[in-house]
C-alpha cells in the first residue's frame, strides 16, 4: 500500500505541474501539435502556436507528463518544439523582443516561415526517433502541403545537423553522465542480430498482421474520436475541469500500473543471465522483481515499470521466446488500448507515436506466439511488424514509417515484409475512416483543404457558390476614410476588391466602364489608417509620395488592430488613394469554372482569396461577381448550402 501511495502521489504531482502550465500559460501546448502544424502549412492561421511561452510549456510539460507514467510519448511534442524553435529563429525572436537587423528581415515573409517550420518539424522527428531520412520523408508525406526541391535539401540539412549533435551528446553521455539519455546509441531498438528467413506461411502471417493493424487502427481512430468529443464537452466547463480530468486520468493510470502485475505469476530467471541483471528493483532495466522472490521476475511489471523506450526494447527483444507470457501481453495490450484512448486529449503535451507502437508491438508478439512452430520469423520481429501495422492503420503513412522503422531497428532484411504490412494496413484502414490527424483537424474546426476535390464538385460552378454568399463588399480606388473605417469595424474579411468607376475602355470611342483594379488586404488598410495617410481631395498619388511615408517592412507586418487609432470627424470626410497598396494582378476565375478546378488552383498556388469575374465584360456589368476563400471551398460547407448534393451523395453510397 505504501508503494501505491508513493507512486500515485509522485505521478499526481508531476501531472498537476504539467497541466497547470498548459491550462494557465499556454493552452496551445496541449496535445501533440502535429495537426496544427499540418494546418498551418496548408495555409491556415493557427494563433499562438509557435510563441516562446508555448515552447517553454511544451518542453517542461512534456517532461512532467512523460515522467508521470502517462500513456503518451514525447515524439509529437518534439515535432512541435522543433517547429517553435524554427519559427522564433525565422522571425528573430518573440513578438515583443525581436532582432532588428536589416538583413534578418529578408526572412519575414510567409513562404520562408513555412519552409522553416517544415524544417523544424522534420528535425523534431529526427530527434525523437534518431531517424534523419525518416524525418525528411515525414515532412514530405504528412505535414507539408507545398513541396519544392529547395525544401528537400533544407530539411535534409536540418536533420543532418540534428543527428550530428545527437551523436556528439550520446558519445559524451556514454559513461552514464546524463541518466537515461543515450541508451541504445543512434539505433534505438536494434534487432540487427537476427537473420530474417521467411516462407509462404510467414507471408500469410505478415499479411494477417497488416489486416489486423488496419482494422484495429480504424477502430482506435473511431473510439478516440468519441473520447475527444466527450473531452471537449468537459473542457468547455473551464480550467478547473481540465485540471480535474488530467488528475483523474493520472490516478487511474497509477492504480492500474501498480495493481495489474499482481494478476500474473513469477518467472524464473534464465541461468545465462547474471543475478545483477535479472530480478532487479529500484532501477531501470528488464526483469523487474516486483512481488517475486529472489531469482524470479514479474514479466508484466517489467513492461509497466520501465520507460516507454525500454518497454519497446523489451517487446522487440529477439531470441527471447519465453521472456513474456501470453497472459501478460494480453493484459498489457488491453491496458494500453484503454489508457491510450483516455490519456490523449487531456491538458498536457502528448504524442501518439509511442502509445500506438506499444499497443501494436504487444499484439504483434502475441501473433508470433500464436504462430508457434509454423513460422521462422522471431517473435521480436513480429512485434516490430505489429507496431508498424497499427501506426499505418491509424496514421495512414507508408513511406516515412517504413524508413523510420528501418532506422529504428537497423535491420534492412525487414524491408520487404515491412512494406507489405504498411500497404495492407493503410489500405484496410482507408476503407473505414480518415487518419487520426484528419479526425483531430475536423474536431478542432481547422479548414484543411485536401489534395483531391470531391467528384460532385465538378457539377457546381463558382458563380453558384457566389450566389449563396452574402453580398460582395468592395472599395473604390479613391475611397472615403469613413467608409473604410465602417467596413473594418463591421466585417471580418481580410481582402477587398478595389474598383475604379468611369474608366475609359481601350480601343473604344470614349466608352466608360467599371474596372477591377485589384485586391487590397485588411492589414494594408489598417496601416493606412494608423499612418493617417489622408487626402483632402480625391486624387491619385505618385509613387514617391507613398515611398516617403511607408517602408516595405511596415507593409509586411500583419497588424489588424486599429481600434486604438483616433480619427476625428474632419478626417472621416477625407479620402485615401488605395491604388498604391493594391495587388493589381490577383488570381481570378471565370464564373463558369467548376468548384473542383477552383479548389485545385486555390490549394496548389497557396491562395487566400480567389476573385470570380464575369464571363462577359462591358458597360453596365460589374467587374467582380464574388470572392472565394478557404471556407467556401470546403466540402462540408458546400454541402451545407446545397443540401441536395449531400442527399444525392447518400443515395449513391446506398446503391
CA atoms within 13 A on the CB side of 291: 14
Asked if the model's pLDDT at residue 66 lies above 80, the reply is: yes
The label of the residue with cell 501481453 reads 329
Asked if the model's pLDDT at residue 280 lies above 90, the reply is: no
Per-residue cell: 375: 513460422
How far apart are the C-alpha atoms of 266 and 523, rounded to whole Å? 68
Asked if the model's pLDDT at residue 512 lies above 90, the reply is: no
Asked if the model's pLDDT at residue 224 lies above 60, the reply is: yes
Please give the order of strands across the beta sheet that includes 626-628.
588-590, 610-613, 626-628
Task: Identify which of 129, 204, 190, 191 has the alpha carbon closest to the alpha carbon of residue 159.
Answer: 129
pLDDT at residue 182, as a whole number:
64
CA 239 to chain centroid, in Å, comes to 24
What is the rounded average pLDDT for all residues in the chain?
A: 87
Per-residue cell: 384: 516490430
The answer to which of 194-203, 433-442, 469-478 has the lowest mean pLDDT is: 194-203
Tell me 474's DSSP state: -
317 φψ region: left (φ > 0), alpha (ψ -120 to 50), beta (else): beta
Q: How confident is the model at residue 655 (pLDDT cuts 50, 70, 90)?
A: very low
pLDDT at residue 149, as a whole number:
87
423-447 residue pLDDT tens: 999 999 999 999 999 999 999 988 8
Overall average pLDDT of the 465-485 stretch: 91
Query: How much of the chain, in percent, has pLDDT values that exceed 90?
Result: 50
Burial 348-376 (b: 16+ CB within 10 A, else e): bbbbbbbbbbbbbbbbbbbbbeebeeebe
Overall average pLDDT of the 153-167 stretch: 94
How far apart are the C-alpha atoms of 152 and 136, rounded to whole Å? 7
pLDDT at residue 653, as a whole number:
45
How far apart are the C-alpha atoms of 269 and 291, rounded to whole Å? 14
310-361 residue pLDDT tens: 888 888 887 777 788 899 999 999 999 999 999 999 999 999 999 999 999 9
pLDDT at residue 53, as a whole number:
92
Asked if the model's pLDDT at residue 654 lies above 50, the reply is: no
Overall average pLDDT of the 301-314 stretch: 85
How far apart are the C-alpha atoms of 351 and 439, rounded to whole Å? 15
pLDDT at residue 546, as a whole number:
81
588-642 residue pLDDT tens: 999 999 999 999 999 888 888 999 999 887 777 889 999 999 999 998 889 888 8
pLDDT at residue 275, as a whole number:
60
Overall average pLDDT of the 542-564 stretch: 74
Per-residue cell: 37: 502544424
Asked if the model's pLDDT at residue 652 lies above 70, the reply is: no
Q: How confident is the model at residue 649 (pLDDT cuts 50, 70, 90)?
A: low
User: What global pTM score does this model have?
Assistant: 0.88
The answer to which of 381-395, 540-554, 619-633 has the lowest mean pLDDT is: 540-554
CA atoms within 13 A on the CB side of 232: 11
H-type helices in 298-414, by residue range?
A: 299-304, 308-316, 326-343, 353-371, 379-395, 399-409
pLDDT at residue 650, as a whole number:
47
Asked if the model's pLDDT at residue 269 lies above 90, the reply is: no
Asked if the model's pLDDT at residue 137 lies above 60, the reply is: yes
Amino acid at each position: 500500500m505504501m508503494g501505491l501511495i508513493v507512486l500515485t502521489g509522485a505521478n499526481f504531482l508531476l501531472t498537476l505541474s504539467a497541466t497547470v502550465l498548459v491550462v494557465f500559460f499556454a493552452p496551445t501546448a496541449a496535445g501533440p501539435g502535429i495537426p496544427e502544424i499540418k494546418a498551418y502549412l496548408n495555409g491556415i492561421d493557427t494563433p499562438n502556436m509557435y510563441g516562446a511561452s508555448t515552447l517553454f510549456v511544451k518542453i517542461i510539460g512534456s517532461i512532467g507528463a512523460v515522467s508521470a507514467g502517462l500513456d503518451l510519448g514525447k515524439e509529437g511534442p518534439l515535432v512541435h518544439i522543433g517547429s517553435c524553435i524554427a519559427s522564433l529563429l525565422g522571425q528573430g525572436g518573440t513578438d515583443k523582443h525581436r532582432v532588428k537587423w536589416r538583413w534578418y528581415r529578408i526572412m519575414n515573409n510567409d513562404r520562408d516561415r513555412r519552409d522553416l517550420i517544415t524544417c523544424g518539424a522534420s528535425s523534431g522527428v529526427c530527434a525523437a526517433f534518431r531517424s534523419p531520412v525518416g524525418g525528411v520523408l515525414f515532412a514530405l508525406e504528412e505535414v507539408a502541403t507545398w513541396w519544392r526541391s529547395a525544401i528537400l535539401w533544407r530539411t535534409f540539412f536540418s536533420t543532418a545537423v540534428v543527428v550530428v549533435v545527437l551523436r556528439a551528446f550520446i558519445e559524451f553521455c556514454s559513461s552514464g553522465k546524463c541518466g537515461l539519455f543515450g541508451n541504445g546509441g543512434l539505433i534505438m531498438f536494434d534487432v540487427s542480430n537476427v537473420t530474417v528467413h521467411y516462407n509462404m506461411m510467414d507471408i500469410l502471417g505478415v499479411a494477417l498482421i497488416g489486416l489486423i493493424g488496419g482494422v484495429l487502427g480504424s477502430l482506435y481512430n473511431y473510439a478516440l474520436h468519441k473520447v475527444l468529443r466527450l473531452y471537449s464537452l468537459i473542457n468547455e466547463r473551464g480550467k478547473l475541469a481540465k485540471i480535474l480530468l488530467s488528475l483523474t486520468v493520472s490516478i487511474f493510470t497509477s492504480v492500474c500500473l501498480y495493481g495489474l502485475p499482481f494478476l500474473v505469476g513469477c518467472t524464473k530467471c534464465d541461468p545465462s543471465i547474471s543475478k545483477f541483471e535479472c530480478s532487479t528493483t529500484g532501477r531501470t532495466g528488464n526483469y523487474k522483481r516486483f512481488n517475486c522472490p529472489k531469482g524470479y521476475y514479474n514479466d508484466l511489471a517489467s513492461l509497466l515499470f520501465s520507460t516507454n523506450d525500454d518497454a519497446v526494447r523489451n517487446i522487440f527483444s529477439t531470441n527471447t521466446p519465453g521472456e513474456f507470457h501470453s497472459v501478460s501481453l494480453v493484459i498489457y495490450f488491453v491496458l494500453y488500448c484503454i489508457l491510450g484512448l483516455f490519456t490523449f486529449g487531456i491538458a498536457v503535451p502528448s504524442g501518439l507515436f509511442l502509445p500506438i507502437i506499444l499497443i501494436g508491438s504487444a499484439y504483434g508478439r502475441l501473433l508470433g506466439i500464436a504462430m508457434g512452430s509454423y513460422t521462422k520469423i522471431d517473435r521480436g520481429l513480429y512485434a516490430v511488424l505489429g507496431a508498424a501495422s497499427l501506426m499505418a492503420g491509424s496514421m495512414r503513412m507508408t513511406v516515412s514509417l517504413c524508413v523510420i522503422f528501418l532506422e529504428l531497428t537497423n535491420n534492412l532484411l525487414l524491408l520487404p515484409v515491412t512494406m507489405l504490412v504498411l500497404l495492407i494496413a493503410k489500405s484496410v484502414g482507408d476503407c473505414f475512416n480518415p487518419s487520426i490527424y484528419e479526425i483531430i483537424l475536423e474536431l478542432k474546426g481547422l479548414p484543411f483543404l485536401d489534395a483531391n476535390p470531391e467528384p460532385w464538385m465538378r457539377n457546381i460552378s463558382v458563380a453558384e457558390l457566389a450566389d449563396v454568399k452574402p453580398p460582395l463588399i468592395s472599395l473604390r480606388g479613391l475611397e472615403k476614410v469613413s467608409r473604410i473605417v465602417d467596413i473594418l469595424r463591421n466585417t471580418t474579411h481580410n481582402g477587398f476588391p478595389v474598383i475604379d468607376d468611369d474608366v475609359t475602355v481601350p480601343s473604344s470611342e470614349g466608352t466608360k466602364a467599371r474596372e477591377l483594379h485589384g485586391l487590397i488586404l485588411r492589414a494594408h488598410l489598417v496601416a493606412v489608417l494608423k499612418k493617417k495617410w489622408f487626402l483632402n481631395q480625391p486624387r491619385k498619388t505618385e509613387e514617391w509620395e507613398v515611398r516617403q511615408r511607408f517602408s516595405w517592412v511596415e507593409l509586411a507586418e500583419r497588424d489588424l488592430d486599429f481600434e486604438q487609432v483616433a480619427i476625428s470627424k474632419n478626417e472621416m470626410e477625407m479620402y485615401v488613394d488605395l491604388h498604391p497598396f493594391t495587388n493589381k494582378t490577383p488570381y481570378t476565375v471565370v464564373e463558369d469554372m467548376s468548384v473542383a478546378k477552383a479548389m485545385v488552383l486555390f490549394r496548389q498556388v497557396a491562395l487566400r482569396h480567389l476573385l470570380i469575374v464575369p464571363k462577359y465584360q462591358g458597360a453596365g456589368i460589374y467587374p467582380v461577381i464574388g470572392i472565394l476563400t478557404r471556407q467556401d471551398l470546403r466540402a462540408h460547407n458546400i454541402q451545407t448550402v446545397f443540401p441536395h448534393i449531400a442527399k444525392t451523395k447518400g443515395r449513391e453510397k446506398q446503391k
